[in-house]
Amino acid sequence: MHRDAEPHSWTSLLPLFLLLSVAVVFEGFDTKLASLVLPQLGDEFGVGPEILFPMLSLLNTGMVLGAALIPLADRWGRRPIFLLCFGGYATFTLATAFVTSPIVFAAIQFVAKMLMVSQLALAYVILSEEFPAKFRGRANGLLGAFASMGAALPAWFLAPLESTGFGWRGLFLMGSLPLLLLPFYFRKLPESSLFRSLDHSAGRPSLRAMLRKLLGPRTRRRFVGITLLWFIINFWSSVAMFSFTFYVFNERDWTASDLQWVPLATVPFAFMGYALGGVAMDILGRRSAIALFMLAGTAAALTCYQSTNYWVIVSTWAALQTLQGMWTIAATMTSELFETEVRASANALSHNLLGRWGMVLGPLAVGFLAGPMGSTGDAVTLLAFANLLVVPVLLWMIPETRGIELGPRDAPAAT
């Protein structure tokens, strides 16, 4: 373990945790806006699911391009790239409130999503590098819980904003509030201590050199494994979560009023799910915890998208929110599998550049199958079985990382 003092306590790390938590609340809020307002966009711009779902896939390719930003944190530091993303996505979210066509909406949100996911990835990297192994999982779990809380808030505000005339545009105005906080973050957000401890006397390594190290014989198998894990998570999540509003509005005849209270009621479940994911990975281990979450996710998606009963749909949607805790487990594993010199690059390549294609292909698959099958719910049901692929990936490619202390040149041993 590479530290100048004894492991930090929760109390000493609380200011950093709060800064990152507030940032991911807004990131969660803004990330869900595009999928939430699909019905309203369709009505205002006169387009249907054959346009809306491919457009959602196009937006999600912005998440893939986050891979161009995140590796810069291995060269120039976590802090400056985090701040760039924090201010940048808020600016583009504000611009979205004033768009006049679906093409402009897609272009602006494309860039916004690239910046959002980059900020979230760096938040996990910073927290993982600062927190000791004994409660790193729980810290990351709570960070993800705050992001989930932010993601649940937009649906609560949609109906009131529609009644006041602001409509879906008002949500994007709300999502730009981080612009007001940016000066405070410039003053208070520190650089990661592990990054500061790296020896840059010989100059900062090139991105090509970092890539060669990341794909070297010591880490190649785990890199491929974690990439496949991220692909499966992204595919399942985009299929099961992004289709929900369109599904209940168009196949279960819900209204904005029916939806209004559901996200608020499920906030405790989402928050609990991420926190539970943190506890589970610290107790059971990273691999066992994420396997349980993902297999349960398949069962919950099948029930949610096949039921016609309002309360069953609400209950299983709450279960799906709870199981989003799988994200924080995967993020923690990614940070622990690789050395400090390439940690941000590993996150960028495994998740954003490669794994995020699952989120691009998910809505495309739903749109492709929904027409011939005659139902969005049936399409989601079939595609939810993708989660079963996680079992061989975890068994053969990804080592357990529970209990590993992070240092500049530490490489986790396969167990």
- Tens-place pLDDT, residues 83-110: 999 999 999 999 999 988 888 888 899 9
Q: Is the pLDDT of residue 415 over 70?
A: no
Q: What is the pLDDT of residues 335-370, one digit of tens each?
A: 999 888 888 888 888 988 888 888 778 888 998 898
Residue 335 CA neighbour count, 13 Å, CB half = 30
More confident residue, 8 or 38: 38
CB count in 10 Å sphere of residue 5? 7
First to last CA, the chain: 18
Domain residue ranges of the chain, discontinuous segments joined by +: 10-190+205-396
User: Topology of 10-190+205-396 in CATH?
Assistant: Growth Hormone; Chain: A; (1.20.1250)
Contact (Cβ atoms closer than 8 angstroms) between residue 52 and residue 39: no
* Helix (DSSP H) and strand (DSSP E) numbers for the chain: 22, 0
Token pair in block for residue 135: 């409660």
169-178, 186-195, 237-246, 255-264, range with the lowest pLDDT: 255-264
Contact (Cβ atoms closer than 8 angstroms) between residue 350 and residue 64: no
Kindly report the average pLDDT of the chain as a whole number. 85
CA–CA separation, 144 vs 124, rounded Å?
Answer: 9
Q: What is the pTM (predicted TM-score) of this model?
A: 0.79
One DSSP character per residue, 189-250 reads PPPPHHHHHS--TT-PPPHHHHHHHHTSTTTHHHHHHHHHHHHHHHHHHHHHHHTHHHHHHH
Q: What is the pLDDT of residues 213-271, one digit of tens each?
A: 777 888 889 999 999 999 999 999 889 987 888 899 889 888 877 877 776 677 788 88
Locus of tokens 């810069």: 72
Q: Is the pLDDT of residue 21 over 60?
A: yes
Contact (Cβ atoms closer than 8 angstroms) between residue 331 and residue 140: yes
